[in-house]
Amino acid sequence: MNIRSLLLVCVVVTFLSACGGGGGDLIQTPAAPSPVAPVDQTLAPGTYKLTFTAISSARLMAPISGIEVAVKLPVGLSVNTVTGGGTGQIVSTSVTPGSAIQATSLAFGNYSASTRTAYLSMATTQDSYRGGQFLNLLFTVASGTALTANDIYNLNVTYPKYKVVGLNALTHSTVTMTGSVTTTLGVVQ
């Protein structure tokens, strides 16, 4: 991970940690936060969670109603699909809405084994969502795999392809806001 990415992650963590409690729109503080995997420590075999967070980088024309992302996974990581880990739909228990989503929402995805890419989508009826954790993806680290969280970040250095849309209540039309929102990812044990 380059120093700019590390600094961005630190700023995001600091920003999000200050958003809890006061009834704000950004994020609901969890009762017991999960430990973030150290970027340079080898991930032990087992299940982890990729967290996806949206950060508004400009004034949004409307609340966010949907986000699509694509993330690459290194060899040695797998996601649970209806085809048993191969190409196909990711099982619903492995793709869940993030902690900032407080209304009815959908979270779903597909995985391409040939490109090792997960294509994920989130849609919500929440009319105040403008930033915070929007999606989680469970993945498994295989035995005998020597990977760090940094390996996942480096694979997605142009991280990731994404699209952000909102619903303008005045015009009843969809607006694309990709240029006004940055998405980041994290690895949680």
Angstrom CA distances, 135 to 45, 121, 147, 163, stand at: 23, 8, 22, 14
- Cβ neighbours for 113, distance < 8 A, ≥ 6 positions apart: 85, 86, 87
User: CA dist 13 to 100, 136, 147, Å?
Assistant: 14, 16, 23
Cα(42)–Cα(23) distance, integer angstroms: 37
Distance between CA atoms of 118 and 132, rounded to whole angstroms? 20
104: exposed, middle or buried (C-beta count within 10 Å: 0-12, 13-18, 19+)?
exposed
User: pLDDT band at residue 166, thresholds of 50, 70 and 90?
Assistant: very high
**Mean pLDDT, to the nearest integer, of 134-139?**
96
Residue 35 pLDDT: 59
What global pTM score does this model have? Answer: 0.78
Domain that holds residue 173: 3-188
Residue 120 above 80 pLDDT?
yes
CA pair distance 171, 189, nearest whole angstrom: 43
* Tally of domains within the chain: 1
What pLDDT score does 152 carry?
92
The predicted-structure confidence for 61-116, as pLDDT tens digits, reads as follows 999 999 999 999 999 999 999 998 899 999 999 999 999 999 889 999 999 999 99
Domain holding 158: CATH number? 2.60.40
Three-state DSSP at 146 gives coil
